[in-house]
Structure formats: structure tokens, C-alpha cells
Structure 1
Amino acid sequence: MVEDEAAASDSLVRELLRHGYEPVTVATGAEAMKMCGDVELVLLDLELPDVDGLEVCRRIRSDSQAAIIAFTDRSSELDRVLGLQAGSDDCMGKPYGFRELMARIDAVMRRVRPRPAAPGGEPEVLSHGPLTIDVARREIYVERELIEVTRKEFDLLHYLASHPGAVITRQRLMADLWGNPAAHPLGSRVTRTIDTHVSALRSKLGSSAWIQTVRGVGFRFGREAG
């Protein structure tokens, strides 16, 4: 938990302990970036005394697989969208209710924790020509070369590859990968969030053919890269 206000930090720690969590608190962005590799979830106040909170979010996302819930004192849609674009899995305005926070923690952790494949269920490895998606290890390979991706980029490609041939709408992507679509209205800024992830994936995969745009609707996984 990254929070520089001691009173708010102490109150939240007590509640998290009561619910079975093992919270570790830091007061600065610099401390957060050092410790993020050893935790499952980061609760990140974006208003920090030393480093811009959005930059802290970006650094944690690039270095760690930890889930991130960000908080902003500014309640505008733009500020929440900036938090999502920086790599958070959810972004809440302050003040917030503890029960809502717990519900969002549960929702985020359900999305990011890998689930073992049941017998006859989802395969642990998806292969499409030169593209391999190792679901268990959360790794992507093209021509056996490991491609470095963020967690959201992995989730997006895996989701599309799990529905080959199907057109997946932007609304469905936002609801299933970002959660709580009511909290993230699909305005132009949130649409750009999805487009940014798609663009980054195409660049890293070396071809735009893996993710095809269906204009005005959404995206479709391309089985073969041209």
C-alpha cells in the first residue's frame, strides 16, 4: 500500500488485517518501486510527495506482475483513464468506501490470478503458426523468440486468441479485461486505451495481421500473420 497520509494508511491497514490480508505500507513512490516485486497487489495513491504517481504506476507495471489499484483525489473521468493507461488494473476516486474497495480487490484478483486448466478445459498452450501463447507461464513467443509484453497486453492477446474467428467488441473487451464497465464509460479516451494496447501488441509481434480491426465494432484474432 502506497500512501503518504499516516491516518488513512493506519485505518486501511487495520481493515485489511481483519480481512486476512498481510499489508505492507510505504509512503513514497521510490519505496514502492523497490518493493513491488514481492507483492501480489499494489494499492497506489497517485498523489505522492516524491515521484509522479502515474510514473510510479508505469514503472511498477513494467517491472512487476503485481495487480495495481490506483487512487486519485481528482474525480474526473480523464484522471481515472490516465491511471488505467499508466498500467493500473482499476482506478478509484477518493474518498471511497471500504466495501467497494474490497469488491474491486476481489474482482481484480480474480482476473489476474492464473487459473489451472481443468481436464478437458482450456489448453495450457495456444499455438497458431509461429505464434505460441503459454497460458500457464503467461509468456508469448513468435518463432520461438520470447516477446516481452505487459500483463494487460498478454490478457488481450490471450483473450482474442481464445476466440479465433470471433469479432470481439470494444465493450466486451472493456468489461471482461478491465472490469466494471459502468466505472469506465466507453468514451473516446477509454477507446484509445484499448487501441494503445492493440497497437503495442502489433508492434511487438511484428505484424498487424495477428489482431485485425473490424471497423466500428472491435477486433478479431488473425490466425496467420501476413
Structure 2
Amino acid sequence: MPKILVVDDERPIAEIIRYNLQKEEGYEVETANDGDEAIKKVHKMKPDLVILDIMLPKKNGFEILKEIRMEYVMPVIMLTAKEEENDKITGLELGADDYITKPFSNKEVVARVKANLRRVKLSTVKEEMKSKIVNAGNLTIDMNTYEVSKEGKIIDLTNREFDLLKYLFQNSDRVFNREHLLKEVWGYEFGDLRTVDVTVRRLREKIETNEDKYIITKRGMGYYFKSR
């Protein structure tokens, strides 16, 4: 059964999320109410998914996210205030997989958690069925280990960045708009399209140079992976 860590300094909110995830799906859920406790529990329980508030005592959510991404690739869903649009972008740039805006419904939380866990599970099952290491220019993409290297040097990608790269690579030279990518890579029928733009930008920064381009923007249409 998936293990989930809920981090929020407002104990009633953390407990409501915990209760609903346990009641609706039977997940194993623990809570943390400050940054230090969150980091300790991440290392101890190694959760399959983290729900992470931004405004926390001792360490804020962004600091925690940075530390998580130094070692782990599990999905991280940020909790953001409705009026703080920039927090969403910052979280995505730091490696968050998704976000939920406060106030939220219990059904939305359960749906987001299920979607992120399902994406990881499907990716794992598919890769267990086939062993494949592919090359694209100077990139080497290992579909089994979720590792990408460039000229022998490992590039640190989040699960979402890898999924986006894999999808575009496997459909090289085909242009996809943001709505399509949000549905196929994120698993959402609708959502903030800037999520796609931010993830594309972050991925480009990690795998490209001025002389070496992989993901191309087709103005007014979308993105595609340029075959070599």
C-alpha cells in the first residue's frame, strides 16, 4: 500500500487530508507539522508521495523540496494559497510534480494523489516489460532506470521531467500542444497550462546548450523533440 507524507503546520488541515486518504483509498499516511520533522520523516519512511505546504516553521516548503530532490524522485504535490500564483511556478521550477490550491476539496486531493501514484505505477510496469537504452544525439536515455546522461555524465531529472522527455522522444518530430501534453504526461483533462511550459523550460536547461537543441517550440502550435 502506498505511503504518503502530509506536511502542513495547520494540524486540522493535515489531519483532514490524512483521514480522507486513509478512508477513501486505504493509504498509509503520516503527517509532519514543521520543516525539520518533515525532513526526518522523509528519510525514515521514504514515502511514495509527499503533500507539502509552503508556509512552514523552521524550514519552508521550497527548502524541503530542494532537500528531497537531492536524494529522492517520488512525486511531490505542493499546497499553495490561491493568491500566490508565483509560488506555483517556483515549486515547479524546483521540481514539484503538481500543486493543489487552497482552499481545496477532499475529492480533489484524493484525485490528484491517485493520478500521480498511477502515473508512477504505469511507468514502472511499462519499463519492467521492456529493457531499452536509447540514444538521441549526445543524450543516452535509460528507460529502465529513469536515468539520462549526456556524454557519460548523469543528468538529474525529476520523474515528471523524465516522463515528458520520454514522451516527446518516443514521438519525435511530432508537434504536441500543451493541452495534449498535460493530458498524456500529467494525466489531467484540464489544468494550468503553464505547468507544461515551466517543465519544458526546466528540462531544456538541464539537457540543452546553445549549440545542442532537442526540444523545439513550434510557434502557436506546441513542442516537439527533434530527431537527429
Q: TM-score range by the shorter chain?
A: 0.7 to 0.9
SS in structure 2 at match of 1:116: helix
Question: 1:110 Cα shift?
Answer: 1.7
Q: How does 1:55-134 map to 2 (within 5 A)?
A: 55-113=63-121, 114-117=123-126, 124-128=132-136, 130-134=138-142
Q: How does 1:153-192 map to 2 (within 5 A)?
A: 153-180=161-188, 182-184=190-192, 186=193, 190=195, 192=197
Q: Is the contact made by 2:7 and 2:50 (CA closer than 8 Å) also made in structure 1?
A: yes
Cα distance between partner residues in 1 of 2:143 and 2:215: 18
Question: 1:101 Cα shift?
Answer: 1.0
Deviations 1:125-150 (A, max 9, x none): 33335432111210113344433223
- Shift of the 58–216 alpha-carbon distance from structure 1 to 2, 3 Å rule, reads farther
Q: Is the contact made by 1:2 and 1:26 (CA closer than 8 Å) also made in structure 2?
A: yes
Cα distance between partner residues in 2 of 1:111 and 1:117: 11
Instruction: Identify the residue that residue 212 of structure 1 maps to in structure 2.
Output: 216
Q: Is the contact made by 1:36 and 1:64 (CA closer than 8 Å) also made in structure 2?
A: no
Aligned length: 219
Q: Note if 1:33 corresponds to 2:30.
A: no
> Identity of paired residues, percent?
32
Cα distance between partner residues in 1 of 2:34 and 2:54: 10
Mean Cα deviation higher: 140-149 or 150-159 = 140-149
Q: Is the contact made by 2:17 and 2:109 (CA closer than 8 Å) also made in structure 1?
A: no
TM-score (norm 2): 0.80
Amino acid at match of 1:116: V
Instruction: Identify the residue that residue 27 of structure 2 maps to in structure 1.
Output: 21
Question: 1:44 Cα shift?
Answer: 0.7
Mean Cα deviation higher: 127-136 or 87-96 = 127-136
Q: Is the contact made by 2:131 and 2:144 (CA closer than 8 Å) also made in structure 1?
A: no
SS in structure 1 at match of 2:181: helix
- Which structure 2 segments of 5+ residues have no match? 1-5
